[in-house]
Structure 1
């Protein structure tokens, strides 16, 4: 696994993070969606690129509306983040944190998904790298990460948020 995480992360929102608006991570319990509800979503801050993050590029490319403010976050020195940089990392993750969902209308279909609620007990978050997204978006042994849209970090425990500042530039 990658030992060093990016230093700065960006969130596009109405206001900076607050515990008041934070929701614990919960499993979606829907087939084919390997994405939790809750948590705090961030993208790697890329100030030397045309867009400040992959999320900003994706939003502009697809006509999504962006919120008026952007906040840069710095994590604590040693956050306990599970990093998925390739298909092998994903298979390791699903081997430890698996939950089976089935469709009551089609009894023969059941899928192993990530149990984000269990993952939350051992880790502060999960980071899906650009390469990890590419390798796992076409993985068919388990539900893939195609619903994540872009490389992202979801924080389960806000204790790893060390500091933030507002980025005034609009995109």
Structure 2
């Protein structure tokens, strides 16, 4: 598997049909994941990806989900948390993403030359 995006090649994968992918398409999908796999740090709460990875092959943050998770949704948070200071978001993800826990859940379709690759000395 290619580890860096600045390589002269990139790969296209397909997710296998039997893969278990958690889809975040709305803020509540994100909160449900936090509730099931909480990782508490200081005064914040995040997803414990190591625990989530034991049950899921990956997490897919859709474009709609990313937009919906940029700001805390208080009406949803109060259904899940008593502490009003807990206001998680996915701002740090920067873009819609697919996080792979289990590379065996993917099938390599092809490897292509990166036409935008520039060798830097």
Interval containing the TM-score (normalised by the shorter chain)? 0.7 to 0.9
- Residues in 2 aligned to 1:151 and 1:73: alpha-carbon distance in whole angstroms: 17
Alignment RMSD, CA only?
2.0
Q: CA offsets per residue over residues 32-70 of structure 1, 9 Å max, x none?
A: xxxxxxxxxxxxxxxxxxxxxxxxxxxxxxxxx844322
Question: Does structure 2 conserve the Cα–Cα contact (< 8 Å) formed by 1:101 and 1:112?
Answer: yes
- 1:165 alignment counterpart: 110
**Aligned-partner Cα distance in 2 for 1:144–1:67:** 31
Residues matched between the structures, number? 103
Q: Is the 8 A contact 1:125 1:156 kept in 2?
A: yes
Q: Distance in 2 between matches of 1:118 and 1:135?
A: 24
What pairs with 1:1-150 in structure 2 (closer than 5 Å)? Answer: 17=1, 66-102=6-42, 110-139=43-72, 141-150=86-95
Contact 2:7 2:114 in 1 (8 A): no
Which structure 1 segments of 5+ residues have no match? 1-16, 22-64, 103-109
Q: Distance in 2 between matches of 1:145 and 1:96?
A: 17
SS in 2 for 1:79: coil
* Distance in 1 separating the partners of 2:32 and 2:45: 13
More helix by share: 2
In structure 2, list runs of 5 or more residues that go unmatched: 74-85, 117-121
> 1:124–1:160: 8 Å Cα contact kept in structure 2?
yes
Larger radius of gyration: 2
Cα drift, residue 125 of structure 1: 0.8
- State the shift of 1:143 in Å: 2.8
1:99-142 deviation line (CA, Å, top 9, x unaligned): 1101xxxxxxx111111111011111111001111110112743
Provide TM-score, normalisation by structure 2.
Answer: 0.75
